[in-house]
Structure 1
C-alpha cells in the first residue's frame, strides 16, 4: 500500500488498529489534531504505524464512568475516530510532534490481547460509511444559528476569532473545527463524535454552548482563560 493511499470506503482500512486513549480529545473526519507524543508506549505505537506503512492511529476516549481511577487499562468508549499521520517532526529530545488527519469514525468490535505496550482494537467502520463522503449533509446545517451562538460564546469569554476564516469555511469544516476546539468535557465530546450526521452535530454543539452560556450567566462564573 502506498503511504499516501486514499481511503474511499471502510474496506480500504485495516480491521485492527492501534488506539490512543485520550480524555477530552475529539478527532473528526478530515479534521486535524496536533499531538505531542512522549510516553514510551505511544512512541512505540508511532514507530510501528510508520513501519507498517498505514500511518493510522485510532483516537478514542476512556469511559471514566465505567472505569476506576486506578485502572491501568480504563474502559474505552465504543466509538472513536481513526486518523492518519500527515505531519511528523522530531523534537530533538525524544518526542514526536505530529498531526493526525481524521479519516473515519469506528465502532470497537473487541479489544485484542496483544504483546505491544499500546492497546489495539478490532474495529468496524461500516456504521459510519458516510464519513468517506466529504461535506455530506452540509446544506442541512443551520449556519446562521451556529454563528450567532459562536458570537455569544466569544463575547462571554473575551475571545477573538479570525472571522474571515470562519465566514469562508464550508459548513463541514466549520462545524467539525468548532466541535474539536470546544472546551467541553468527555461526555459532550463523545456526543459530538457519535452524532449521526453533520446537522445533528451542529445542533448538539449549539445546545451545549447555549447551556454553558446560560449557566455562566446565572452562576456568575468568570470567563474562560
Structure 2
C-alpha cells in the first residue's frame, strides 16, 4: 500500500521546507505531533497547508543555534491534522511519508529554510515492509527488558508483545533517550530490519556499560 497517494519518488516535490529540531524524529508510517509557535514556522505551516502539505523534519548537526547545519538525511511528513489555539499556536500532526537526502540548501526569501531533496535512495519507504522482511520481536524485547531495568523505566509490555513490529520499532527509536547522533543513525538505517538491528545495538550498548555514544 502507498501513503496519501504517493506511489513513487517522482510524486514527491523537489523542494521541501525543513524544520531542524533536535531529537524529534518522524519515520515513514509514523506520526509526530508538533506544537508550532515560532513565527517562521507558523509561516512554514501556512505555506505547506496552501501547497503540498509536506514538511521535512531534520536533525540539527552543529553550528549556530539559530541556523544550525543540517543532517544529510531527513524525513518528510504530511500535515494530516491541524488546529489553531487562541494564543496563535498551531497544533499539527505529521504523518511520515518518505526519507530524503539533502542535495543542497536553497537560497530563499522565506523565513524558514528549504532544501532540494533527493528521494531516490529511500523510494522503498513509500511501500509497507513485506511480512517476510520483518525484524525479530523476541530479540528486540530481550534487549528492551535489560535496557528498562538499567534505566528504571516503565514499559507497556502488552504493547511490546502485540503492536505491529514497524510501530514498535519506530516508537522505541523515536521515544528512547538516545543522543541526536544515535537517533540520526536510526533514521538512516536502510530499512526496518536495519533500524531494528541498530536499535538493539543501542539498547545493548547502554546496558553493557559502553561509554560510546554513536554507531559506526
Confirm or deny a common fold (TM above 0.5).
Answer: yes
Render the CA deviation track for 1:150-170: whole Å, top value 9, x for unaligned. Answer: 122222233222222222222
Partner of 2:28: 29
Compute the TM-score of the two structures, normalised by the length of structure 1.
0.87
Partner of 2:14: 15
Render the CA deviation track for 1:109-154: whole Å, top value 9, x for unaligned. Answer: 1111111000011101111011011124763412211011112222
Structure-1 separation of matches of 2:23 and 2:116 = 22
The CA RMSD over aligned residues, in Å, is 1.9
Task: Classify the secondary structure of the residue corresponding to 2:206.
Answer: helix
Structure-2 separation of matches of 1:6 and 1:137 = 22
Partner of 1:56: 54
Partner of 2:39: 40
Render the CA deviation track for 1:73-114: whole Å, top value 9, x for unaligned. Answer: 221111000000111121211111111110000001111111
Deviation, structure 1 residue 26: 1.4
Structure-2 separation of matches of 1:143 and 1:187 = 25
Greater Cα offset, 132-141 or 143-152 = 132-141
Which residues of 2 match residues 103-118 of structure 1 at below 5 A?
103-118=97-112
Partner of 2:214: none
Partner of 2:147: 153
Tell me, which stretches of 5 or more residues in structure 1 are unaligned?
Answer: 219-225
Partner of 2:133: 139
Poorly superposed stretches of 4+, deviation over 3 Å? 136-140
Structure-2 separation of matches of 1:151 and 1:71 = 36
Structure-2 separation of matches of 1:125 and 1:31 = 18
Q: Between Structure 1 and Structure 2, how many residues are aligned?
A: 209
Q: Which has the larger share of strand?
A: 2
Compute the TM-score of the two structures, normalised by the length of structure 2.
0.90
